[in-house]
Amino acid sequence: MQFREANVTFDAREVLRRALYPGYDADIVTLGIVEEIAPLADGGVTVTLRQGGTREDVMREVAQQVRELLSGELKLSKVEVAVRRLEPELGERTGRVALDGVRYVVAVASGKGGVGKSTVAANLAVALSHLGYAVGLLDADIYGPSVPMMFGTAGARPQSAGEQRFYPVERHGISLISIGMFLTERAPVIWRGPMVMGAVRQFLKDTVWRSRDFLIVDLPPGTGDAQLTLAQQVCLDGALIVTTPQDVALLDAARALKMLRQVHCPLLGVIENMSYFVCPDCGEVDEIFGHGGGERMARSENLKLLSRLPLYAEVREAGDRGIPVALSEPEHPASRVFLELAREVAAQVEGQSQ
């Protein structure tokens, strides 16, 4: 009897892998929507689903798929479906998520988008890996996931690691997870608010990182709920703030810094990106976005200015090609800036924990 029950649960889980979550390429088992499958005494099962979003019709559709698949494929006499309601404050109430196998978590943050946060996160990950560390990169930027493009993983899906867990996608020696790896074209429409936070929490909890020295987190830009919740959910060992020399970007960055201080995250320093443009023909330096902003900010916030990264066509091109510049052109001046940054980050984080 016990054997039969175990089989039913196992089979049911396997069959449910065929149920795609509406709007997604991923199935409901991989996405963690299926919370539990319990056998009933008369040969049926109860499936408990975790509510994925705020839309009731989506959950009804999922429940219908579950019933049809299980009664159709497994010929179960009875299929009960229960839905556990969304708890938006789950993160806050249950405390921080422990990331299995990760030694240090370092976040890359910015006050607004487009300042080069993802470029810094990707190249920092590559540079740390170059220094011999085992590195993971978590793309938590739900508004504009860019890791799949920057690492050329378009179409790659995280493989299931059994239960609800999954393995990151490996590329260029880095373990990668991005919300973009679960999205389809249609998805952003239903990808809102509490659901996003639920999904990110899921990522944090259910990714099998194996042993990583560093996990770099590409945080969403800004200072809204999404960043705050994330910063609260992971125990961050340090954060870097990326800004441009422009005054508006600096103001935004200052707000992001305040938020990171609120959650007691150690601030490792400021990276001024797009600091200047060196004319490839004449070598002339053009400070198109203003001058000395990163320095002023570092001074007023009592932080280190860790790097000043100029604008280079190669940085953008490398990102677009799916191989970060620090990997494709290790001798490039930008790559040297990233290597220096990686050394500094490692020294600060490892020093802190001793």
Ligand X SMILES: Nc1ncnc2c1ncn2[C@@H]1O[C@H](COP(=O)(O)OP(=O)(O)O)[C@@H](O)[C@H]1O
Site residues (vs ligand X, CB under 6 A): 110, 113-119, 144, 146, 221, 273-274, 309, 311-312, 315-316, 319
Nearer to Mg ion, 60 or 316 (CB): 316
Least gap, CB of 111 to ligand X (angstroms): 10
Q: Cβ distance 309 to 334 under 8 Å?
A: yes
Q: Is the CB of residue 143 less than 8 Å from the CB of residue 125?
A: no
Closer residue to ligand X, CB minimum distance, 148 or 198: 148
273 binds Mg ion (CB under 5 A): no
The distance in angstroms from the start CA to the end CA of the chain is 54
CB of 271 to ligand X, least distance (A): 10
3-state helix, strand, coil in the chain (%, to 5): 40, 25, 35
Tokens encoding 114: 């487009």
Binding partner selected for residue 316 from Mg ion, ligand X, none, CB under the kind-specific 5 to 8 Å limit: ligand X
| Residue number with CB closer to ligand X (253 or 274) | 274
Interface map 115-154 toward Mg ion (x if CB under 5 A): ---x----------------------x----x--------
Binding-site size for Mg ion (CB under 5 A) equals 3
Residue 116 DSSP symbol = S
d(CA 23, CA 187): 5
Q: Which does 178 bind (CB under 5 to 8 A by kind): Mg ion, ligand X, none?
A: none
- The smaller minimum CB distance to ligand X, of residues 84 and 316, is found at 316
- Backbone torsions φ then ψ of 160, nearest 5 degrees: -70, 140
- Tallying the residues shown for the chain, one arrives at 354
Measured from the Cβ of residue 136, the count of other Cβ atoms closer than 10 Å reads 26
Query: What is the smallest separation between the CB atom of 122 and ligand X, expressed in angstroms?
Result: 8
Report the nearest approach of Mg ion to the CB of residue 194 (Å). Answer: 22
Per CB under 5 A, the segment of 27-35, 113-121, 244-252, 257-265 that binds Mg ion is 113-121
SS3 114: coil
Residue 110 interacting partner from ligand X, Mg ion, none (CB closer than 5 to 8 Å by kind): ligand X
Angle between helices 117-130 and 313-321 (to 10 degrees): 80
Q: What is the DSSP letter of 282?
A: T
Task: List residues binding Mg ion (CB under 5 A).
Answer: 118, 141, 146
